[in-house]
Structure 1
Amino acid sequence: MKSYDVAVIGSGPGGYVGAIRCAQLGLKTAIIEKYATLGGTCLNVGCIPSKALLDSSHHFEDAVKHFEEHGIDIPGEVKVNLEKMISRKQEVVDQTTGGIDFLMKKNNIDVYHGMGSFKDATHITIEGDETTEIEAKNSIIATGSKPASLPFIDIDKERIITSTEALKLKEVPKHLIIIGGGVIGLELGQVYRRLGAEVTIVEYMDRIIPTMDSGLSKELNKVFKKAKFSIAVSHKVKSVERKGDEVIVKAENKKGEDVEFKGDYCLVSVGRKPYTDGLNAEAAGVKLDDRGRVEVNEHLQTNVKNIYAIGDVVKGAMLAHKAEEEGVFVAETIAGQKPHIDYNLIPGVVYTWPEVASVGKTEEQLKEEGIEYKSGQFPMRALGRSRASMDTDGFVKILADKKTDEILGVHMIGARAADLIAEAVVAMEYRASAEDVARMSHAHPTYTEAVKEAALAATEDRALHV
């Protein structure tokens, strides 16, 4: 039987990054993955493939709607080759997951393919092509999450589907009904709307992206309406039924009236739930909470001192980059270091176009907490760079403490917001004031100038270009 300092169960972003950091710190490390490829949900059926389709569909939409305006004439009709688009997506996935294989070899990490389950707190059984048992001084549970559903919905993976099936459809839906107006539903909805599908979003809350700042939600709603999405908020779904190639979704609106939606596909996108099936956590004595998450303390340590858990399987936002930070945190903790994570400064991103990104407190949270703040906002349409690229939707908003001027939250929607948010994270990590950011030189013309201008707006309303 092989023995390891650390065994990582699950090879998603949290698991594989945690394994690499363990190896870097001189710990003998193994990683266990039940699927044939490494990378977990994010690389195989999540972040990476969805971005590949978003980029491909964005190119198509530009060709159809904007090339002529840019002085680019395309003879003949621009058509979608969905099979090729899906194939390219898979090539991106294969290349990315292959990169993880390389990193495991480079760092001398032993890879086991099969279902990993605890025999006890220091022994793990791996059921693959053959049964293997390993010993581990420490274990990291990084088993991630899977799509959640509603108890009355029968997901047949053909017409009533999850995000996994939505990434490999054989045809563009005529009418795609999406249950859930969060990140996954909006991103995949935009892919298929660009390709010609009619798209209806049915959301239980009173707005789309309900966990983000309400200003972002309002602006993205405006953009989606302009793109002819149907958006039904404050609707409680009561049933989803398939009749042949038709799906019927029945819901109740805020007035208590029954509403019916009919389409040829229904994407159930109501979030994700922790995945611990087959882990046999009880054999190791590891406790789960009432929502199926692994219980951990502030060191991400379970009630069993040599077993840790990270990523989607523990409390907090289900984000790949949060899992990565936690993977590094646990590796360094096991190695005797004293790492730190500020969960308030882990950004959230929606990869629609325009992109939406946020870090820190929302206005709603600051009001709820009774914190006095000031707000500075700058529209993307006022930037020369935005006009040059025809990406004029959106804004950057900076919230700063009214007394100290420290930046408390940054919320943006616009071109490349997913990249721009990193500037806000750096500023807030170093507890910068709005004045600090306002006095930094930003290259012209760039989208980042909107961050400087929003900081100026938050500092005595000094924005220069509005």
Structure 2
Amino acid sequence: MKDAKKQTFDAIIIGSGQAGNPLAFALAEQNLNVALVEKGKFGGTCVNTGCTPTKAYVASARRAWEIKNASDLGIPNPKLDKIDLQKVKERKDKIVAVSHNGLVQGIRKEKWINTFQAKGYFLDPTTIQAGSAILTAPKIFINVGTRPRIPDGFEDVNYLTNESLLELEELPDHLVIIGGSYIGLEFAQIFRRLGSKVTIIEMSDRLISKEDPDISDRMRKILESEGINVLCNSHCLEGKNNPNGGLTVLMNCGGEKKQALGSHLLLATGRKSNIDLINPLAAGLEVDEKGFMQVNDLLETSVKGIYALGDCNGKGVFTHTSYHDFEVLKNQLFGNKARKVSDRILNYALYTDPPLGRAGMNISQAKKSNKKILYAEMEMSQINRAREKDETKGKMEVIVDASTEQILGATVLGIGGDEIIGVFLTAMYSKMSYKTLMNSVQTHPTVTELIPTLLQQVKPLKSES
């Protein structure tokens, strides 16, 4: 392979994810010869094993839940037969195939994009080995994403990840999930609603520990109300395969040794960057202590001509942040060079039911800031639309800078929270006074009409040193 002739391009992109793909097309529009290297499926995590397939499962689980709870709305409760997971998977696979195949067709049609289906890694700062091919270019863009982190003590256990769980064709009898954060909670509710017993094991003293304690507590109650067993303060020691099938997780729960037996084990303990797979040292690239590629506000690495986009740079772990990385880089390459990574406001959603939407600061962060804060919260049970739908769990809260009157953050845990958070986010990006939104007339009956009422109730919040 060392004697292979180098193929020269204007740019090389390693990874076909939500930043790499649009970048390839943007470069091609400029008549630049692009090499797109992908070791797996084109489309990256979001299309193949992330957003698209998991939200398809969320939808199936929601339908099952609606049937089971139809009598609560005056509809005789129909019989729900055992869920056929194979049918659920087939639906998911069709949805994924549409996105994947459409992307591949678009790439194949573009004459300026050359694809290499192989693992790509650096030989030097301008050279990439991709299978048997050796590629060189003055600009290299890294979009290699992340992979599931496997904790010590579970390497030899028959475990599942978010990727392999989506390939099951029979429902687990009892799904044990290690990790009480976003991925773990979504799958917990999905499989509980589809008919599996579910146990969540979390090392922290509460679920989704990056959220405020009240939000964490509410989320736990929501999951437990559906029959999900939650074990926090559980310091997992090891996992063992059982001789007759299934597995056992041994743990230390608040000083008391316990164990959980299940038929299947999902490891949802976070993700790690794939940077280590591309031989960064050969290019002289700097990686931080967590393994993410270090980049500046313009996504440049420490080596001239090399950039890192998407989850692998640690600047964001969502599809929307990956795509924004692409937009920043496109602006820097072909635009007015005004956009940068720090322009964006933190926002994301947890797709449990009800969902959680977050934008900007939460209360804990606001209390530690030096700003004069106005704050308000309201229960979802106070909104007519939620009561009419009989989905009143959760609350809505907002944080305002008293000096500028701008909204600094909002949290919506409740029906439609993943969509409603966009109203706050729009106000934040436009830097409008909260009073403008407070005085707006929202459509009735909707959940969004709670926002003006919420903003009318903001009061000073004491800060913490």
For normalisation by structure 1, the TM-score amounts to 0.91
Report if aligned partners of 1:18, 1:324 keep a CA contact under 8 Å in 2.
no
SS at match of 1:345: coil
Deviations 1:166-193 (A, max 9, x none): 1122322222111111110000111111
Alignment of 1:302-341 (within 5 A): 302-335=301-334, 337-341=337-341
Q: 1:116 to 1:405 in 2, by over 3 A?
A: same
Partner Cα separation in structure 2 for residue 70 and residue 23 of structure 1: 57
Report if aligned partners of 1:395, 1:450 keep a CA contact under 8 Å in 2.
no
Structure 2 residue 382 is matched with structure 1 residue 372: no
Which residue in 2 is equivalent to 1:55? 59
Q: 1:344 to 1:328 in 2, by over 3 A?
A: closer
2:26 alignment partner, one of 21, 28, 34: 21
Moved more, 448-457 or 224-233: 448-457
Which residue in 2 is equivalent to 1:402? 402
Q: Note the C-alpha offset of 1:227.
A: 0.9
Equivalent residue letter for 2:102: G
Partner Cα separation in structure 1 for residue 367 and residue 31 of structure 2: 47
Structure 2 residue 130 is matched with structure 1 residue 126: yes
Partner Cα separation in structure 1 for residue 36 and residue 117 of structure 2: 9
Structure 2 residue 163 is matched with structure 1 residue 164: yes
Report if aligned partners of 1:21, 1:332 keep a CA contact under 8 Å in 2.
no
Q: Note the C-alpha offset of 1:19.
A: 2.5
Structure 2 residue 109 is matched with structure 1 residue 81: no
Q: Note the C-alpha offset of 1:343.
A: 6.3
Among the aligned pairs, what percent are the same residue? 28
Alignment of 1:68-147 (within 5 A): 69=73, 71=75, 74=78, 76-105=79-108, 108=111, 109-127=113-131, 131-147=132-148
Q: Note the C-alpha offset of 1:73.
A: 6.4
Which residue in 2 is equivalent to 1:279? 278
Equivalent residue letter for 1:374: L
Report if aligned partners of 1:434, 1:459 keep a CA contact under 8 Å in 2.
no
Which residue in 1 is equivalent to 2:3? none
Partner Cα separation in structure 2 for residue 237 and residue 195 of structure 1: 27
Partner Cα separation in structure 2 for residue 9 and residue 428 of structure 1: 34
Q: 1:144 to 1:194 in 2, by over 3 A?
A: same
Report if aligned partners of 1:332, 1:338 keep a CA contact under 8 Å in 2.
yes
Q: Note the C-alpha offset of 1:155.
A: 5.3
SS at match of 1:140: strand
SS at match of 2:13: strand
SS at match of 2:150: coil
1:44 alignment partner, one of 31, 45, 48: 48
SS at match of 1:457: coil
Partner Cα separation in structure 2 for residue 218 and residue 404 of structure 1: 32
SS at match of 2:189: helix
Q: Note the C-alpha offset of 1:365.
A: 1.0
Which residue in 2 is equivalent to 1:444? 444
Deviations 1:37-94 (A, max 9, x none): 31112211111111111111111111122267353664x5433111111111111111
Q: Note the C-alpha offset of 1:303.
A: 1.1
Which residue in 2 is equivalent to 1:189? 188
SS at match of 1:342: helix
Structure 2 residue 39 is matched with structure 1 residue 34: yes
SS at match of 2:281: helix
Partner Cα separation in structure 1 for residue 165 and residue 133 of structure 2: 35
For normalisation by structure 2, the TM-score amounts to 0.91
Equivalent residue letter for 1:192: F
Equivalent residue letter for 1:138: K
Report if aligned partners of 2:375, 2:460 keep a CA contact under 8 Å in 1.
no
Which residue in 2 is equivalent to 1:151? 152
Which residue in 2 is equivalent to 1:422? 422
Equivalent residue letter for 1:69: L
Equivalent residue letter for 1:395: K
Moved more, 447-456 or 82-91: 447-456
Which residue in 2 is equivalent to 1:12? 17
Structure 2 residue 292 is matched with structure 1 residue 288: no
Q: Note the C-alpha offset of 1:246.
A: 2.7
Gaps of 5+ in 1: 462-466
Gaps of 5+ in 2: 1-5
Report if aligned partners of 1:359, 1:425 keep a CA contact under 8 Å in 2.
yes
Q: Note the C-alpha offset of 1:277.
A: 4.2
Alignment of 1:210-221 (within 5 A): 210-221=209-220
Q: Note the C-alpha offset of 1:349.
A: 1.1
Q: Note the C-alpha offset of 1:459.
A: 6.8
Report if aligned partners of 2:297, 2:340 keep a CA contact under 8 Å in 1.
no
Alignment of 1:182-261 (within 5 A): 182-244=181-243, 245-254=245-254, 256-261=255-260
Partner Cα separation in structure 2 for residue 209 and residue 201 of structure 1: 12
Partner Cα separation in structure 2 for residue 103 and residue 443 of structure 1: 40
Equivalent residue letter for 1:63: I
Structure 2 residue 2 is matched with structure 1 residue 3: no
Q: 1:249 to 1:4 in 2, by over 3 A?
A: same
Aligned-pair Cα RMSD in Å: 2.2
Report if aligned partners of 1:58, 1:194 keep a CA contact under 8 Å in 2.
yes
Report if aligned partners of 1:434, 1:456 keep a CA contact under 8 Å in 2.
no
Q: 1:396 to 1:137 in 2, by over 3 A?
A: same
Alignment of 1:373-392 (within 5 A): 373-392=373-392
Deviations 1:142-175 (A, max 9, x none): 101000021221255xx42211121122322222
Q: Note the C-alpha offset of 1:138.
A: 0.9
Partner Cα separation in structure 1 for residue 422 and residue 36 of structure 2: 30
Report if aligned partners of 1:398, 1:410 keep a CA contact under 8 Å in 2.
yes
Deviations 1:373-395 (A, max 9, x none): 12112222222222233222122
SS at match of 1:13: coil
